[in-house]
Amino acid sequence: MTGLLKSLLPRTLFGRAVIITVLPLILVQAVGIFVFYDRVWETVTRRLTHAIAGEVAMTIEHWQRASGPEDRAATLAMVERQLGMSIAVSDGARLAAPMAGEGSGILERRMVQALRERVGRPFDLDVWGQPRDVILLVQLDTGVMRIVVSRERVFTTNAYVMILWMVGSSILLFAIASVFMRNQVRPIRELAAVSEAFGKGGDIEGYRPSGASEVRQAGAAFVVMRERLRRFLLQRTEMLAGISHDLRTPLTRMKLELALLDDSPSVGGLRADIADMERMVESYLAFVRGDGEEQPEPTDLARLLADLVAGEQREGHPVRLITEGDLVISLRPQAVRRSIRNLLANATRHGARIELRAKRRERSVKILIDDDGPGIPSGLREDVFKPFFRLDASRNSSTGGVGLGLTIARDVVRAHGGDIWLEDAPLGGLRVRIKLPV
């Protein structure tokens, strides 16, 4: 039951706030209309119809007691003059079809009940046949009495005015509440938008907290958090610049000293070790530094992937590219290029056939990289994203870097608000699935 209720509720804060505001109003109005209809309208209509039925019964009784035609005519004239009813008697006539049911609608139902209680004779009733009058036919002993009564005497139109006023006021209050609630929800939407943009590395310098005090407090906390993260990244970048200088300087001196020595197996080994150390330092710095200074921009992902595939094909790697739909999205092109290049390098290193697919969905772009290599065991597919993690003999550890390629790729993808997974590929090897939001 709770799950059904949650599925029926709107998902947005604006929709739920409107329900919280409007639902009590609707319930109050519904109860008010029910009470008015059941107590007031029914009571007034019942009293009016009983009064008319009593007048009709009195008229019939006086008409039957009249001694002659002149006396009966005088009685009818007095009733028309004093009670405002038009009465005519057809001597010798009979009702074709006396009314047998209870009638439909509050007026007809109450009229039928009142006439049966007060008059006690066969009758026929026409409530809505005439625009302003109610026509009543009553069977007498000697004929049929036709009585025409103004509908205003048996039915009050104030009930309709009351209902229309209640419904109209509800609609007006609903519109006013919707406008005010939309204005209150707008700052929350702005905060959510800038939070998402900041998570994707976008520029949000123009954001200013607004709205209610609680929303302003949340916005101010977000601005403070943003500044703290920026200071942290700046300090880390400055520290890494110093580390880079400190590490590269002795490596450069060692390379110069080795260049002055004669070639020998030991010297060649030292040169290879220094080259490995340089690559490791560059990998570490690239991992920690990332691409934080690059700003997102509209990029044709299809062209970016085509350039990467062309580079792999020039190196002799058979990579097949398949793209579907419009792939122009906002991203940091250099970071994405570097992450996908790392993934393609892994695929070409361990597989002979590689397929790269990219297709657009409603709110995302999916990138698939498949190879026919040995793959990665399912129990290690999450571990390979950890920094400096390297596989054993399932993939040759003597080839490749220091275990940061997949880590950098996941950091880049998640910095764009997406994610990356490893799966079994249809080609028999490993599939890398990337999802980037549009």
Take residue 130 and report the two structure tokens written for it: 């005439």
CA distance 123 to 206: 81
**Domains of the chain in sequence order:** 11-84+97-119+151-159 (no CATH), 206-289 (1.10.287.130), 297-437 (3.30.565.10)
CA distance 66 to 99: 27
Q: What is the pLDDT at residue 397? A: 40
pLDDT range class, residue 394, cuts 50, 70, 90: very low
CA distance 319 to 343: 12
Residue 359, amino acid = K
Cα dihedral 138, 142, 143, 147 in deg (nearest 10):
-40
The residue to which tokens 């406008």 are assigned: 179
Spatial contact of 377 and 432, defined as CB atoms under 8 Å apart: no
CA distance 49 to 106: 11
pTM: 0.51
Segment 311-331, tens digit of pLDDT: 888 888 888 999 988 889 888
Residue ranges with strand state E in 239-325 = 297-300, 319-324
Among 126, 118, 121, 116, CA closest to 151: 126
Residue 366 has pLDDT above 90, yes or no: yes
For residue 330, the cross-strand partners are: 298
Higher-scoring residue by pLDDT: 82, 272 = 82
The residue to which tokens 């026919």 are assigned: 372
Q: Tell me which of 127-141, 153-167, 335-349, 370-384 is least confident.
A: 153-167
SS3 at position 16: helix
Long-range contacts at 238-244 (CB < 8 A, ≥ 24 apart): 240/285, 240/288, 240/289, 243/285, 244/281, 244/285
Residue 114, amino acid = A
Query: Which strands make up the sheet holding 354-360, listed edge to edge?
Result: 319-324, 354-360, 364-371, 430-437, 419-424
Residue 197 has pLDDT above 80, yes or no: no
Segment 210-266, tens digit of pLDDT: 888 888 888 889 888 888 887 877 777 677 667 766 777 777 878 777 777 777 777
Spatial contact of 127 and 99, defined as CB atoms under 8 Å apart: no
